[in-house]
C-alpha cells in the first residue's frame, strides 16, 4: 500500500481511533542540577501511528508495517522479530514475554508467553545436598527455560494480525542476512567484560557473534546467516518450525552438547496462554496490566493503590515524596515476593492484594517520619537483556509487549546452526527460599521450580485509559524488579505531578524491593538534601547508583500521539 493510501485510510479511521487525551501537563518544576536528563528529549510526534522500541531499526520496521496497512499487532510482531536480529543481547526468540493489548473496540487482552521449566527440572536442581549452589541458574544450557516468544508472536498474530505472517518476518530476515551496523550502545553490550567472558565460554556463541576471537565493536557489521535461515523457517512454517521442526531439533542437540535438559516433548508441549487482564484504577484512570505469572500488574497496582490511599502526593523533588514512594514499593514487594507465582500452580490472594481496602490498611502503616527497618543485601547487576515495545495504530489499537532473555545475552548459549541465544530465565524462580537471585530478589515457595511451571516475572507491559475509557498511555520497561517501580513512577509522574511524557520518563527514579532493604537510586537523581533527610529517617542508600528501567512509551494526546524512547538506553520512536 502506498504512503498516500495509508494516510487516507488512517484519516478515515481516525474518527474511531487514536487521539483522545485526558492528561494535562502543567508541571513547572526542575530536575536536580547534575541529573543527566535535566533537559528531557523531544518526543516524536505523530497523528495516527507510533512504534517505540529499544532500537531505531526495529522501530522503523514496525513503522513500515503500519504504513503498509498492518495493524498494531502486525507492527509489534515485525518489531519483535527485528529486535531478535538487531538487539541479540535481549533476544527474543530464545526467550519469552508478555503482551497487553487493548483493541480499538475497547476490549483488553493479555497473552502469556513466558518460558516454562523443562519436565526434568526439580526444585533443588541448582543445589547440592547441603543446599549450596552447584549448577548455575544464570550461565549455560541448564539455566534455560522452554522459550515462549515464537509461540506468543504466532498466537497474537493468529488471533489479531492482518498482514500475512511471512511479510512481518521478511524485514528481520533481510537484516540478519545482509547485516546490521552496530551502533555504540549495542556494541558496548558485547564489549562488557562479563558478557565477553560468558559468551566466550560457548563455541556456538563465539562463532555467531565474534570475529577472529573478538567481540564486534561499534561500526562492525553483524551478519547472522544461521539466524536468517531460522527466521526463514519460522516465516515458512510458523511456530511449528520452532517447536516441532528442525529448530526444535537444533535446540535439543544444543542441550545434549551443553548439558541442558529441554527435550523435544518440552518444546512440542509449549503453549502461549491468554489470561484475564489485571485491571485496576488509579485516581479515576483505568490501568490494564499483566497478571501472574508476571508480578508486574499486581505489584504496580498495589503500589499505586497505596499511593492513592495516602492521598494527594507531595510535590516532585521533595524528600517526602521519595519516602512515601519507597514505603509503598517496599510493602508491595513484600507481598510480591511472598505470594506470587504461576497461577496454574499456586493459589494467590489477587483480589485482596489489588484491593483498595488492603492498600488503605497498608498506607496507614507508613510512618510519615520514619523508614521501615533496613537490612543489608547483595550486589545488583545492570543489563540490557529485556526489551519493551509500545505501538498504537491508526485505528486506535494499542499494544504493549515486554520480552526478555533475563540476563544480558541470556544463558550465553547460542543454539548451534540456528543462530539465536537461549534465555536463562530459570534464575527467576526461587532456587533456594530466602536466597537472592540475580536481581537480589528474595522470593518464596510460591515461586519454587516445578516441571512445566512458569517462573515469576516482574515484566509490566501496561496500558492506561483516561477516566472516559480512552487510551492515554502505552508503556513498559526492562530492568528486572525495577520494571515495576519504573512503570509506576512514570504513571504517577503523569497523573499526580502533571508532567509531560518527556518529563515523566526523564525524571530520576528510585527503587525499593523490600529485600535487599535499601534505597536504589540513579546517579545525580537524588539531591544531597533529599538524601540527608531520608537517611535521618532511617533509610540506607546503596553504595552505588544504578539505572532504573528504560520506559518506552506512546502517549495519546488530544491532537495525536507522542512516542518517546527512554533516553537511558537510547532506543527510538517512529511514527506518522
Tell me which residues touch ligand DON (CB under 6 A). 383-386, 404, 406, 425, 428, 457-459, 478-480, 483
Which is nearer to ligand DON, 66 or 340 (by Cβ)? Answer: 340
Which is nearer to ligand DON, 387 or 497 (by Cβ)? Answer: 387
Structure letter (DSSP) for residue 242: H
Query: Nearest 5°: CA angle at 450, between 446 and 455?
Result: 60
Q: Given 386, 402, 485, 557, which residue is catalytic?
A: 386
Contact between 574 and 49 under an 8 Å Cβ cutoff? The reply is no
| Structural element, H or E, at residue 111 | strand 108-113
Residue written as grid cell 542437540: 253
| C-alpha 17: how far from chain center | 26
Which is nearer to ligand DON, 340 or 415 (by Cβ)? Answer: 340
Question: Residue 219: is it exposed, middle or buried by C-beta count within 10 angstroms (0-12/13-18/19+)?
Answer: exposed
Q: How far is the CB of 338 from ligand DON (least distance, A)?
A: 17
Residue written as grid cell 515476593: 337
Which is nearer to ligand DON, 48 or 333 (by Cβ)? Answer: 333
Contact between 296 and 483 under an 8 Å Cβ cutoff? The reply is yes
For residue 400, what is its C-alpha cell? 504493549
Diameter over CA atoms, the chain: 68
Contact between 54 and 387 under an 8 Å Cβ cutoff? The reply is yes
What is each CA distance from 253 to 117, 268, 415, in whole angstroms?
A: 18, 15, 8
Q: What is the DSSP string of 300-366?
A: HHHHHHHHHHH-SPPPTT-HHHHHHHHHHHHHHHHHHHHH---TTT----HHHHT-HHHHHHHHHT-
* Helices 165-178/72-86 angle, 10° precision: 20
What are the phi and psi torsion angles at 391 (to 5°)? -140, 140
Contact between 325 and 521 under an 8 Å Cβ cutoff? The reply is no
Which is nearer to ligand DON, 459 or 555 (by Cβ)? Answer: 459
Which is nearer to ligand DON, 147 or 238 (by Cβ)? Answer: 147
What is the C-alpha to C-alpha distance for residues 389 and 52, in angstroms, rounded to an integer?
Answer: 6
Structure letter (DSSP) for residue 46: E
Which is nearer to ligand DON, 500 or 513 (by Cβ)? Answer: 513
Q: How far is the CB of 542 from ligand DON (least distance, A)?
A: 17
What is the C-alpha to C-alpha distance for residues 168 and 58, in angstroms, rounded to an integer?
Answer: 12
Q: 365-404: string of b/e by CB count within 10 Å (b at 16+)?
A: ebeeeebbebeebeebeebbbbbbbbbbbbbbbbbbbbbb
Which is nearer to ligand DON, 317 or 461 (by Cβ)? Answer: 461
Which is nearer to ligand DON, 10 or 458 (by Cβ)? Answer: 458
Which is nearer to ligand DON, 46 or 145 (by Cβ)? Answer: 145
Q: Specify whether 462 is catalytic.
A: no
- As beta bridge partners, residue 398 has 102, 392
What is the C-alpha to C-alpha distance for residues 556 and 358, in angstroms, rounded to an integer?
Answer: 32
The residues, any chain, with a CB within 8 Å of residue 287's CB and separated by 6 or more, are: 279, 280, 281, 297, 300, 301, 304, 462, 463, 464, 465, 491
Q: How far is the CB of 46 from ligand DON (least distance, A)?
A: 27
Q: Which residues are catalytic?
A: 386
Amino acid at each position: 500500500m502506498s504512503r498516500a493510501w495509508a494516510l487516507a485510510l488512517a484519516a478515515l479511521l481516525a474518527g474511531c481511533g487514536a487521539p483522545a487525551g485526558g492528561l494535562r501537563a502543567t508541571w513547572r518544576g526542575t530536575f536536580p542540577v547534575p541529573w543527566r536528563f535535566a533537559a528531557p528529549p523531544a518526543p516524536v510526534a505523530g497523528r495516527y501511528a507510533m512504534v517505540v522500541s529499544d532500537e531505531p531499526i526495529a522501530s522503523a520496521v514496525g513503522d513500515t508495517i503500519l504504513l503498509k496497512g498492518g495493524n498494531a499487532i502486525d507492527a509489534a510482531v515485525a518489531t519483535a522479530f527485528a529486535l531478535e536480529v538487531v538487539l541479540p543481547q535481549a533476544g527474543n526468540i530464545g526467550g519469552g514475554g508478555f503482551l497487553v493489548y487493548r483493541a480499538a473496540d475497547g476490549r483488553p487482552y493479555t497473552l502469556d508467553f513466558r518460558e516454562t521449566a523443562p519436565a526434568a527440572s526439580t526444585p533443588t536442581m541448582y543445589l547440592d545436598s547441603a543446599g549450596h549452589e552447584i549448577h548455575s541458574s544464570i550461565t549455560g544450557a541448564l539455566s534455560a527455560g522452554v522459550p515462549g516468544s515464537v509461540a506468543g508472536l504466532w498466537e497474537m498474530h493468529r488471533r489479531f494480525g492482518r498482514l500475512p505472517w511471512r511479510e512481518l518476518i521478511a524485514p528481520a530476515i533481510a537484516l540478519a542476512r545482509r547485516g546490521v551496523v552496530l551502533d555504540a550502545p549495542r556494541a558496548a553490550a558485547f564489549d562488557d567484560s562479563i558478557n565477553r567472558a560468558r559468551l566466550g565460554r560457548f563455541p556456538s556463541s563465539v562463532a555467531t557473534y565474534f570475529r577472529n576471537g573478538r567481540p564486534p565493536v561499534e561500526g562492525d557489521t553483524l551478519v547472522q546467516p544461521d539466524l536468517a535461515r531460522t527466521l526463514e523457517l519460522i516465516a515458512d512454517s510458523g511456530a511449528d518450525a520452532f517447536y516441532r521442526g528442525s529448530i526444535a531439533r537444533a535446540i535439543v542437540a544444543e542441550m545434549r552438547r551443553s548439558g541442558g535438559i529441554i527435550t523435544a516433548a518440552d518444546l512440542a508441549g509449549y503453549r502461549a496462554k491468554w489470561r484475564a487482564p489485571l485491571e485496576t484504577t488509579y485516581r479515576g484512570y483505568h490501568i490494564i496490566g499483566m497478571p501472574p505469572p508476571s508480578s508486574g500488574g499486581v505489584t504496580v497496582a498495589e503500589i499505586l493503590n497505596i499511593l492513592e490511599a495516602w492521598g494527594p502526593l507531595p510535590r516532585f523533588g521533595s524528600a517526602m515524596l521519595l519516602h512515601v514512594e519507597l514505603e509503598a514499593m517496599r510493602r508491595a514487594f513484600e507481598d510480591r515476593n511472598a505470594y506470587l507465582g504461576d497461577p496454574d500452580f499456586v493459589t494467590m490472594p489477587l483480589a485482596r492484594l489489588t484491593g483498595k481496602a488492603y492498600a488503605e490498611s497498608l498506607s496507614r502503616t507508613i510512618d510519615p517520619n520514619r523508614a521501615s527497618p533496613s537490612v543489608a543485601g547483595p550486589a545488583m547487576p545492570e543489563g540490557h537483556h529485556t526489551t519493551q515495545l509500545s505501538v498504537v495504530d491508526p485505528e486506535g489499537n494499542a499494544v504493549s509487549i515486554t520480552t526478555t532473555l533475563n540476563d544480558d545475552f541470556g544463558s550465553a548459549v547460542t543454539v548451534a546452526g540456528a543462530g539465536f541465544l537461549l534465555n536463562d530465565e530459570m534464575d527467576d524462580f526461587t532456587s533456594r527460599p530466602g536466597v537472592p537471585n540475580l536481581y537480589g530478589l528474595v522470593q518464596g515457595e510460591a515461586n519454587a521450580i516445578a516441571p512445566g511451571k512458569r517462573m515469576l516475572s516482574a515484566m509490566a507491559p501496561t496500558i492506561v485509559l483516561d477516566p472516559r475509557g480512552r487510551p492515554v498511555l502505552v508503556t513498559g520497561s526492562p530492568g528486572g524488579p525495577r520494571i515495576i517501580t519504573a512503570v509506576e513512577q512514570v504513571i504517577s509522574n503523569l497523573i499526580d505531578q502533571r508532567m509531560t511524557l518527556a518529563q515523566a520518563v526523564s525524571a530520576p527514579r528510585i527503587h525499593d524491593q523490600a529485600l535487599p532493604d535499601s534505597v536504589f537510586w540513579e546517579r545525580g537523581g537524588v539531591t544531597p538534601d533529599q538524601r540527608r533527610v531520608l537517611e535521618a529517617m532511617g533509610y540506607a542508600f546503596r553504595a552505588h547508583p544504578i539505572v532504573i528501567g528504560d520506559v518506552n512509551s506512546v502517549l495519546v494526546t488530544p491532537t495525536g500521539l507522542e512516542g518517546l524512547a527512554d533516553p537511558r538506553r537510547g532506543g527510538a520512536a517512529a511514527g506518522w
